[in-house]
Amino acid sequence: MDTSAAPGNGDNPEKRRGKWSFRRLVGVPVAMLAACAVIAVNVPTVGAAVANRYHQYQITRPAYEARYGLWNKLSIPARFRVNGIHSTLLYNGDVLIMAGSGNNQAFFNAGTFKTLLLNPVTMHEQLIRTPWDLFCAGHIELPDGNILIAGGTARYENLDPVYAAGSMTVVNNDAAQPWTLPKGTIFTGPNGVQFASAFALTIPRARRLRGAAGGQPAIVPSQQNVWVDAVRKGRGSLMPGTDRYEIQGLLGPAANNLLYGIGTPMTLQKQNFQGTRDAYIFDVRTSRYVKVNSMNYARWYPTLAEMGNGMVMAMSGLNGSGQVTMNSEMFNPGTRRWAQGPVHGFPTYPATFLTESGQLFFTGSNAGYGPSTSAWRTPGFWNVKTSVFQPVPGIPVPQDLETSASVLLPPAQKQTIMVLGGGGVGQSMSSTARTALIDIAAPDPHWVRGPSLAQPTRYPITVLLPDDDVLVTGGSRYYRGMHGSDNRDTRIYDTATNSFTWAANSITGRDYHSGGILLPNGSVLTLGGNPLFGNKQDTAPQAFNQEIDVYFPPYMFRGPRPRITAAPRVLQLQHSYLISVSQAASIRDLRLMRPDNPTHVTDVNERSVAVAFTRAGHGELRITLPASSNLIPPSYYMLFAVSSRGIPSAGFWVRVP
Ligand code: CU
């Protein structure tokens, strides 16, 4: 293990400031800096306004745009503005923006859950009826292009509870029938203290096992957990032990051996957010949510990752008691059923990427909750068939990967993953500017230091571009933008040279609950931003940033773009096809890019896959798809042709079954 090349914990951004300052001077036109200085001296009262106008003029000059790109704000009517916490690009070019209650407890209590369907080109907007609180669920595009959303919010956190509460396991010994207990069912403890269930629940019937020949059949009870709150306020309802509770009302006295509760300690400690087991599919054709089978486990902050066979792994998340679940489960898009998966402890929203070998590689990136122990935080390979987790240590202080971003660098064939930024576990004030890379296909994968970000950054937005660059923008220096630390830096990471160049500063602060999406025309949509406070002094209440921006990268200003004029709409692995492209003689690369679906600095299904080709003459290319579905899992993709000048076409939608 080459630890000397790994990024150090003593990653000191101050030390490198000189270097980055120099780059910034090179990056930003010097004339602009000089102009600002002169104006500030000569006309102090109107200086800011004039400087601003001059800045506006500078950044819209063609030469500036061709070098740094251009930001633009979309104009969204007030009634269509939602908290852009979850978003995904659909194969029809629309962007689905999912808020649910949007981190707003008043909306949660009122049952106000929101989703916006937006076409960023035609600016057609439509609010979608949202039947459950998908806030902080996991979401993914299925092989047929519809969106699976699993989990969400059952209950908001309670930092200072006045009713003792905890988790109740309801045991069913009745092999004759399942039992359904309504919300508010009363559980009475040994000393008469009463608790009420926060949700309805159904406990399946017990199983009857055949005994030995002539023996009585054995009963295997079934059980379900439910959150319960004390009926009376205060310390009188504290229950320090694990007690047996009788269930009131539904049953006769004899029934209490059939159905009863086993309570965890009932406390007045801080209560975490609680997840739901709900799962829905957003049907792209009907623009509706359709309920599918619930998960086996409640999840809040889960990651959904597609495997090469089209199955979806759901991992981690807070369960119905606000604890991180170690159980994974697998969704079959054909049967729409969930099956138990292997057990491993990951922090919430773990960044787990499908490797060419069919395993999942956990990069260490995550968002939010989970033990800080190295066993939970160390990156590694997870074989979901054998359940074996093989750690790949070597990145110093893996705990600092919380709120970092991870990307599978383009093209996916290189099997190189990059982690960017991040900070300490929980509401820590520490954050890091480091980046690190790892070749996960190497015989001995090890972490190497990458170029540092301009400043320590949590929640950086990272979006793969068709020319193999990675846009890196937004985030904040401190936990959830505290002290007004939203970061406007925007840089483009060049995979060929392993270095950053400056791009135009973003026009909106975006920290927690933000994301970015590559649009079919090659521009990038950014949305969200949920600072803990509304001002620099950390005294004003938070305001969610509902603005939506589009960034046009430099390649959109560098001359005529190639155009894919014809291609089959369905492309099979390993098969060859003819496609028609303008500028065919100068096409350098072809890429298949999966639609982005980011949330909480996590987008593990984002990938850009190289497609081999030969020139067939008459403006045609003969393309051949890769062989491995682990490289290119079943999905819709955008096919981009990139010219020898690094200018990409618009994406041409295809489906890889
Ligand atoms: Cu969240």
Tell me how crowded residue 450 is: count the other CB atoms within 10 A of its CB.
Answer: 19
Task: Check residue 212 and give its pLDDT.
Answer: 56
In the chain, what's the furthest Cα-to-Cα distance? 103
Q: Is the pLDDT of residue 34 over 50?
A: no
CA of 294 to the centre of ligand 1 (A): 21
Report residue 265 as tokens.
């300690």
Distance of alpha carbon 235 from the chain centroid: 39
Give pLDDT, residue 47.
56
- How many angstroms does the Cα of residue 163 sit away from the middle of ligand 1? 25
Dist. CA 509 → ligand 1 center (Å): 17
Ligand 1 centroid to Cα of residue 118, in Å, is: 22
Range with the poorest average pLDDT among 202-211, 396-405, 559-568: 202-211
Element (H, E) at 55: helix 47-59
pLDDT of residue 548: 97
Instruction: Calculate how far, in angstroms, residue 368's C-alpha sits from the geometric centre of ligand 1.
Output: 8
Question: What's the pLDDT band for 460 if we cut at 50, 70, 90?
Answer: very high
Distance 513 CA to ligand 1 centre (A): 6
What tokens does 353 get?
Answer: 């990427």
- Would you place residue 233 in the very low, low, confident or very high pLDDT band (cuts 50, 70, 90)? very high
Helix (H, G, I), strand (E, B) or coil at 198: coil
- C-alpha 450/C-alpha 393 separation (Å) is 17
Average pLDDT rounded to a whole number, residues 432-458: 97
3-state secondary structure of 402: strand
Domains of the chain, by residue range, sit at 30-59, 67-157+272-557, 165-263, 564-656
pLDDT for the residue 324: 96
Judged against a pLDDT cut of 70, whether residue 15 lies above it is answered with no
Determine what percent of the chain is predicted with pLDDT higher than 70: 91
Q: From CA 613, how far away is CA 304, in angstroms rounded?
A: 32
* pLDDT average, residue stretch 133-162: 97
Helix, strand, coil share (%) of the chain residues, nearest 5: 15, 35, 50
Q: Are 126 and 119 in contact (CB under 8 A)?
A: no
CA nearest to 116, candidates 136, 95, 131, 132: 95
Residue 550: what are its φ and ψ, rounded to 5°? -125, 130
CATH architecture of 67-157+272-557: 7 Propeller (2.130)
Q: What is the mean pLDDT of residues 136-154?
A: 98
DSSP 573: T
Rounded distance from Cα 494 to ligand 1 centre (Å): 30
422 in Cβ contact with 401 (< 8 Å): yes
pLDDT band of residue 195 (cuts 50, 70, 90) is very high
DSSP structure string for 256-299: GGTEEEEEPPBB-S-B--EEB--EEEEETTTTEEEEEPPPSS-B
Three-state DSSP class for residue 628: coil
The answer to whether residue 28 scores a pLDDT higher than 50 is: no
| Mean pLDDT value across the chain | 90
Element (H or E) spanning 59, and its range? helix 47-59
For ligand 1, the distance from its centroid to the CA atom of residue 432, given in whole angstroms, is 21
Q: Can you say how many angstroms the Cα of residue 579 is from the centroid of all Cα atoms in its chain? A: 34
Q: How far is the CA of 431 from the centre of ligand 1 (A)?
A: 19
Q: How far does the centroid of ligand 1 lie from the alpha carbon of residue 300, in Å?
A: 8
pLDDT of the residue at 376: 96
Query: What is the Å distance from ligand 1's center to 33 Cα?
Result: 38
Neighbours of 582 (CB within 10 A): 16
pLDDT the model gives residue 61: 82
Average pLDDT of the residues in 500-517: 96
> For residues 453 and 493, what is the distance between their CA atoms, to the nearest angstrom?
10
Give the bridge partners for 187, in sequence order: 195, 247
Residue 252 has pLDDT above 80, yes or no: no
Q: What confidence tens digit (pLDDT) does each residue in 615-638 have?
A: 998 899 999 999 999 999 999 999
Residue for token digits 């910034």? 24
Q: Would the pLDDT of 29 be above 60?
A: no
What pLDDT, on the 0 to 100 scale, is given for residue 419? 98
Mean pLDDT along residues 104-128: 96
Residue 363: pLDDT over 60: yes
Ranked by mean pLDDT, the top range of 32-41, 249-258, 570-579 is 570-579
Mean pLDDT of 69-84: 96
Distance 354 CA to ligand 1 centre (A): 24
Q: 136 C-alpha vs ligand 1 centroid, how far in Å?
A: 5
> Mean pLDDT throughout 166-189?
93
Q: Which amino acid is at 329?
A: E
Phi, psi of 160, rounded to the nearest 5 degrees: -140, 70
Is pTM beyond 0.95? Reply is no
In angstroms, the CA 478 to CA 466 distance is 31
Distance, in Å, from the CA atom of 89 to the CA atom of 501, rounded to the nearest integer, reads 27
Cα–Cα nearest to 432, from 446, 450, 416, 445: 450
pLDDT of residue 17: 31
Alpha helices, DSSP H, located in 129-218: none
| Angstrom distance (rounded) from CA 401 to CA 459 | 10
Pick the CATH number of 564-656 from 2.102.10.10, 3.30.930.10, 3.40.50.2300, 2.60.40.10: 2.60.40.10
Q: Residue 265 and residue 349: Cα distance in Å, rounded? A: 28
pLDDT reported for residue 254 = 54
Distance (angstroms) between ligand 1 centre and the Cα of 166 equals: 22
Alpha carbon dihedral 333, 335, 337, 342, in 10-degree steps, equals: -70
- How far does the centroid of ligand 1 lie from the alpha carbon of residue 86, in Å? 9
Cα–ligand 1 centroid distance for 85 (angstroms): 7
CA distance 167 to 572: 49
Q: Give every CB contact of residue 628 below 8 A, 6+ residues apart in sequence.
A: 308, 356, 573
Crossing angle between the packed helical segments 30-42 and 47-59, to the nearest 10 degrees: 160
What is the distance in A from the centroid of ligand 1 to the CA of 530? 9
Confidence of residue 55 (pLDDT cuts 50, 70, 90): confident
Short-list 311, 272, 270, 316, CA closest to 600: 316
User: Using 50, 70 and 90 to split pLDDT, how confident is the model at 19?
Assistant: very low
Cα gap 635→595, rounded to integer Å: 9
Least confident of 56-60, 273-277, 490-494, 544-548: 56-60
Q: Which of 203-217, 295-309, 427-441, 516-530 has the lowest mean pLDDT?
A: 203-217
End-to-end CA distance of the chain: 39
What digits encode the pLDDT tens for the residues 377-427? 999 999 999 999 999 999 999 999 999 999 999 999 999 999 999 999 999
In DSSP terms, which residues pair with 280 in a beta bridge?
A: 149, 291
For 401, the 3-state DSSP assignment is helix
Residue 73, judged by CB atoms within 10 A of its CB (0-12, 13-18, 19+), counts as exposed
- The answer, yes or no, to whether residue 22 has pLDDT greater than 70, is no
Cβ–Cβ < 8 Å for 296, 225: no
Asked if residue 308 lies in contact with residue 354, where contact means CB atoms within 8 angstroms, the answer is yes
Report CA(630)–ligand 1 centroid distance (Å). 29
More confident residue, 632 or 215: 632
Residue 146 CA to ligand 1 centre (angstroms): 23
Assign 13 a pLDDT band (cuts: 50, 70, 90): very low
- Ligand 1 centroid to 516 CA: how many Å? 16
Place of tokens 């689905």: 96
Quick one: CA dihedral 370, 373, 379, 384, positive or negative? negative
Q: Is the pLDDT of residue 45 over 70?
A: no
Distance in Å, CA 36 to ligand 1 centroid = 39
Strand partners, 290: 281
For residue 69, report the distance from its CA to the centre of ligand 1, in Å.
30
> What burial letters (b/e) apply to 520-555, b meaning 16+ CB within 10 Å?
bbbbbbbbbbbbbbeeeeeeeebebbbbbbbbbbbb
Q: Average pLDDT in the 530-553 region?
A: 94
Q: Cα(124) to centroid of ligand 1, in Å? A: 27
- Output the pLDDT for position 251: 59
282 CA to centre of ligand 1 in angstroms: 20
Query: Which of these, 142, 169, 351, lies nearest to 264 by C-alpha position?
Result: 169
